[in-house]
Structure 1
Amino acid sequence: MVGRQAEAEIPEDGPLAGLDPEQLAAVRAPRGPVCVLAGAGTGKTRTIVHRIAQLIHTGHVAAGQVLAVTFTARAAGEMRTRLRALGVHGAQARTFHAAALRQLRYFWPRVVGGPQWDLLDGKLRVVSQAAHRAGAGTEAEVLRDLATEIEWAKASLVTPDDYPAAAGRVGRQSPAPVELVASVYRWYEAFKAKANLLDFDDLLLHTAAALDEHPAVAEEFRDRYRCFVVDEYQDVTPLQQRVLDAWLGDRDDLTVVGDANQTIYSFAGASPRPLLNFTRRFPTATVVRLERDYRSTPQVVSLANRVMAAARERPAGSRLRLVGQRPEGPEPSFAEYEDEPTEAAAVARRISELIDTGTPASQIAVLYRVNAQSEAYEQALSELDIPYLIRGGERFFARVEVRQATAALRTAAASAPTGELPKIVRELLEPLGLSAEPPTGGAARERWESLLALVELAEELASHVEGADLAQYVAELDMRARAQHPPTVEGVTLASLHAAKGLEWDAVFLVGLVEGTMPIQHADGNDAAVEEERRLLYVGVTRAREHLALSWALARGEGGRRNRRRSRFLYGLIPEDHATARLTRARREAAPAAAALRCRVCGAALIDAVATKLGRCAGCPADLDEELLVRLKEWRARRARALKVPAYVVFTDATLVAIAEQRPVDPAGLVSIAGIGASKLDKFGSEVLSLLRSRP
């Protein structure tokens, strides 16, 4: 066992330079079972690739005999890139499914025979057929839930016949009666087999079966691959563990890396049990603990430790206590708000301040528990003309605009155009939507940002490769697409906590931290589910490098009942357990501009977001021009359709009401209305003022 106190000589130069004592111990551990318990931000990927390189460079194993597996194509691509930088060529780094697909294609003629079955690209069509035959609902939402349940069952090695008992045993919230789900599952497998189709889980099932049932196949495979490395081992499913066992056979040349505190995919069948029981299975295993956090400031690290210290049960393998290695930073902030729109507006203002003081928008994230929470933040960021991107949708190179752009660039490359590469790329992408000025937000902004990212990638290539041409650029795009290594897109990231796993930002806002959302309502009453929600919060906290803000709102909508309570996970974390009055004061301090505004009718200070926008207290009399408001809404609808954005991206209802009440006569009067800045004045100011001047 190697802990923080371990002593080791770190070479001043060479491939092992810069490794801390614990990382060095993991890298230099002998062949055989090795378990690296790696906390968030402790350099686990660096440790993995250096261990692989060390084993190869010292002659313990040939590069072609190494198979490293992880859970995302991007992580596998990053691992391959780092291995190449260390002079390692030939080692395999893939996802479980990609590795299984490669093996299954190779062994198919011997274990199955005949033409290879096609891989099912999206299972909803077959699930729909199965649901119809079984008498279940076929609405899109129902089909997605049924598909998720089938995926859980297969990942958990549960057959259709076993599903009802297994679902009851683990307390699954089945989307339909368990016998009906089992029937859908049974028909799904039947339809799939009849059409000679495989889904992603079948890749793993058939690979394991090929090795278990065909000794000659197993012998050939095990002669080829002799050293295995598994990243994110806390997320392994029973099905993936079965494949790993088949790969290993009776051997033990296995290195696993994981953190039980980051187990957040139990709903998909993942379990930290193989990680926690590793030393029981391999009593002679070398165990190394990585606890030096190089990602976050000591203040963020301290909060992360306190989140997990309150856990009800912490198995020995999860008791990692991070030690921050970065310079001191700001304390995490906590804030309570009257309602979600006010919370979102305050977060957007703080983001604007960070951007104004030099933090790139791409280094800022707003993280929430469920995707439905994003709307308020999309609107608040749009109000301040802050670009944003929603993570968790299509992968960068799978997006329609990126595929269209790549096709156009490839066609153009055939004619070998001459000139500066970035200029050529920009001109080719202009017809696809790369305008001189960016759209405000939403899908249109995402498209524009994707195209701009392609131009920036061209600039990067031109700066590193002298004389780079369009053909070389297209080849670079193809390589990145295969490796799932997209360029950085400039914009604030909006993402669920699950989608944020494995990522990090300079500034992170954890929002909507109320009971019923964090922990999620359906977790209540299940201790294991509640503890997974705590780990999800821990993952969110450890995404922040320097700035971390946690907030919650007492009501959902403006003026709604203040019947929410802050998350139970926050008790004991907030300094001195802030009273509501202190939190209210912190909220006002976070929005000085809003607090300084006065009601134009009675002169009282305006705090509420809508009151700030209207320029008056909610109870003060209003001089609203109803006919003007109708005309403003009609104009907004036309502009939103033309820009292909939601109406609120142009102006919110509250902004239109403020215009119809105050009826400004010049640009100065228009920008005096909260939410109308220079950018919106440039885009819409002349049209709005013209509409105001033309009113009866």
Structure 2
Amino acid sequence: MKVFWGAPGTGKTTKAISILADAVEEGRSISYDTFRRNMAKDALYRLLDVVHLSKEERRYISTTHSICFHLLGLKKKDVLTYEGFKKFCENEGLTITLKEYELTQPIPEIDTYDTSGGAFLSLYNNCVNCMIPFDEYEKLPSYMLPAPSRFFDALWLLKNFPKLAERYEQFKQEHRKVDFSDMLRFVYEDELSINSDVHISDETHDKTPLQYAIFKMWTQNCDEVYCCLDFNQRIYSFWGTNLTPLHELESEEIEVLRVSFRLGREQYAYARRILHSQKTPEIECKNSVIIEEQRNFLPALRNLASSTTSIMLLARTKYQLEHIAYLLDAEGIPIVGDPRFSWSSKELKLLSALRNLKEPSNPFRLLDEEESELLLKALSADAFSMEKTRIRRGKIQPLPLTARFLQLLRRDPLKLESFILKSYLKDPTRVLKALATSYNPVKLLTIHGSKGLEADYVFLFDGITRRIQQSIMFKEEFENEQRVWYVGVTRARKKLIIIRSFFPPALSIPFLPSPQEVITHASR
């Protein structure tokens, strides 16, 4: 086994793709697992750019859960959703608060830890992922147990947890459903393996004990095994990731990737200062990244959102994102990223199509296929004079719009825009508001959600919640929180803007220093 340790931007995934592509060219079978879907998709697309993979082979370039899903022969209907889990909670007298769109999400995609139902599910998943029997839950670290809050009685939950877990298992069996933890456990218990010649594990630092046990089972007969990781990006301790597998990996052959093409020198110095005593590699930073501090983010965001599409806004929790999303909607700035606040693809396409139609510089501007299709469906065939579209292989080709169409649009644009939008959307308010601006969509994410991503401009909000402030009294959680902010400050490619004291009451972060102090020291 060989381990690649790389700081952000050092090309861990690029290294993995190169190894996999060479193996395919040599006629060997390959597999690749990672923790998050966006990383798996990126790896697959990049691999398909250089080699051909069959449909079956592509299934093994995915997340650990997705590969388990395939090995078990499951279908989407077999996976328990929050709608089903809500019924279990109602039967057991547990509380859970969900929005309508969350009911169809698979378990455990939604954060609901501040309710008794959410706390139960968190404790259940922690036991499964740490391979600890339900009646021995006290063996879990203290920070992985539910803390008392005004929403539920944590002591009652702990006392009744073993029986609740047993009834939850029965509930799933009766309804013939599995959740994400079941996928991992069943694959491990049934010893279902991939049997590839070359296997690469990306983000190995995020594996729980159960996931690491599956990884070892999958790779016991492989000719070559590689792990791509960064010990300093291990930020999921609350899900059960721990250092035991990583200590084992430290005894393997480790190659440190020494050049980062994303990070700037001052930026990396700032990130290392956040980690304080935790081990970080010496690397060469090829980029130059500006670090600033502000209190009001909107003026800078307005300027940037009008000229660039590479902007990311990061906050520590989803509760904080809600406040930011409200302000972005009020400004008419489209949002992508976190599913709770992100615009739908339909909203974004309609906005793009209508903006393209209003572009005066090109009266015969071409819309792309999706934009053309949306407008054709929204408008009656003879409502406006349009050139005929050509149908090729069942797809609508880009649609040239005549001057008459644009004339009618400009004569009464609000009426036409409103008509098109109401044909598709229950509430077109925010799209109509965005049409009055030139803002590009911005990514709105938690720091955890941004892992593996990057942007030219990153706004990092420094607030934490009281619950986090209490949890960092534990050494492991304090170090985990340091790594969370390390991830946050290393997402920027051009400028990192730290927004101070934005959330009232602003709780202090004891390890996020003044950038100027660090930059001055790094420049000496």
**TM-score normalised by L of structure 1:** 0.56
Q: Tell me whether 1:172 sits opposite 2:136 in the alignment.
A: no
Letter aligned with residue 241 of structure 1: Y
Match for residue 366 of structure 1 among 276, 299, 313: 313
| Contact 1:234-1:273 at 8 Å conserved across structures | no
Match for residue 259 of structure 1 among 230, 234, 240: 230
Residue 523 of structure 1: CA displacement? 1.8
Residue 506 of structure 1: CA displacement? 0.9
Match for residue 239 of structure 1? Answer: 210
* Shift in CA distance, 293/89, structure 1 to aligned 2, threshold 3 Å: same
Paired residues for 1:466-481 under 5 Å: none
Write the distance in 1 (CA, Å) between the matches of 2:86 and 2:342. 27
Write the distance in 1 (CA, Å) between the matches of 2:225 and 2:248. 14
Secondary structure in structure 2 of the residue aligned to 1:499: helix
Q: Tell me whether 1:387 sits opposite 2:333 in the alignment.
A: yes
Write the distance in 1 (CA, Å) between the matches of 2:235 and 2:283. 19
Which structure is higher in helix share?
1
| Contact 2:289-2:493 at 8 Å conserved across structures | no
Match for residue 270 of structure 1 among 241, 261, 266: 241
Q: Tell me whether 1:496 sits opposite 2:421 in the alignment.
A: no
Match for residue 193 of structure 1 among 153, 173, 176: 173
Match for residue 81 of structure 2? Answer: 122
| Contact 2:32-2:199 at 8 Å conserved across structures | yes
Q: Which runs of 5+ in 2 are unaligned?
A: 99-114, 351-368, 382-387, 406-415
Write the distance in 2 (CA, Å) between the matches of 1:363 and 1:257. 26
| Contact 2:463-2:502 at 8 Å conserved across structures | no
Letter aligned with residue 42 of structure 2: E
Letter aligned with residue 568 of structure 1: P
Paired residues for 1:259-658 under 5 Å: 259-280=230-251, 285-308=252-275, 310-311=276-277, 314=278, 318-326=279-287, 328-330=288-290, 332-335=291-294, 343=295, 346-355=296-305, 358=307, 360=308, 362-381=309-328, 385=331, 387-389=333-335, 391-393=337-339, 417-418=389-390, 421-423=397-399, 435=421, 444-445=429-430, 490-513=440-463, 520-553=468-501, 556=504, 566-571=508-513, 573-575=515-517
Letter aligned with residue 202 of structure 2: D
* Shift in CA distance, 172/568, structure 1 to aligned 2, threshold 3 Å: same
**TM-score normalised by L of structure 2:** 0.72
Please give the root-mean-square deviation of Cα atoms over the aligned residues, in Å.
Answer: 4.2
Percentage of identical aligned residues: 19
Match for residue 161 of structure 1? Answer: 135
Match for residue 36 of structure 2 among 59, 72, 75: 72
* Shift in CA distance, 278/138, structure 1 to aligned 2, threshold 3 Å: closer
Residue 34 of structure 1: CA displacement? 0.9
Larger RCO (CA within 8 A; separation ≥ 6): 2
* Shift in CA distance, 378/138, structure 1 to aligned 2, threshold 3 Å: closer
Letter aligned with residue 274 of structure 1: P
Write the distance in 2 (CA, Å) between the matches of 1:139 and 1:153. 23
Residue 304 of structure 1: CA displacement? 1.7
Secondary structure in structure 1 of the residue aligned to 2:72: helix
* Shift in CA distance, 255/576, structure 1 to aligned 2, threshold 3 Å: closer
In the comparison of the two structures, how many residue pairs are matched? 445
| Contact 1:103-1:207 at 8 Å conserved across structures | yes
* Shift in CA distance, 490/121, structure 1 to aligned 2, threshold 3 Å: farther
Write the distance in 2 (CA, Å) between the matches of 1:548 and 1:277. 35
Residue 247 of structure 1: CA displacement? 1.5
Q: Which runs of 5+ in 1 are unaligned?
A: 1-32, 109-115, 212-216, 336-342, 451-488, 558-563, 579-696
Secondary structure in structure 2 of the residue aligned to 1:550: strand
Match for residue 12 of structure 2 among 35, 39, 44: 44
* Shift in CA distance, 298/123, structure 1 to aligned 2, threshold 3 Å: same
| Contact 1:435-1:448 at 8 Å conserved across structures | no
Larger Cα Rg: Structure 1 or Structure 2? 1
| Contact 1:571-1:577 at 8 Å conserved across structures | no
| Contact 1:552-1:566 at 8 Å conserved across structures | no
Letter aligned with residue 100 of structure 1: C
Match for residue 110 of structure 2? Answer: none
Match for residue 181 of structure 1 among 136, 161, 177: 161
Residue 528 of structure 1: CA displacement? 1.1
Match for residue 561 of structure 1? Answer: none
Match for residue 409 of structure 2? Answer: none
Secondary structure in structure 1 of the residue aligned to 2:32: strand
* Shift in CA distance, 443/232, structure 1 to aligned 2, threshold 3 Å: farther
Secondary structure in structure 2 of the residue aligned to 1:257: strand
* Shift in CA distance, 169/302, structure 1 to aligned 2, threshold 3 Å: closer
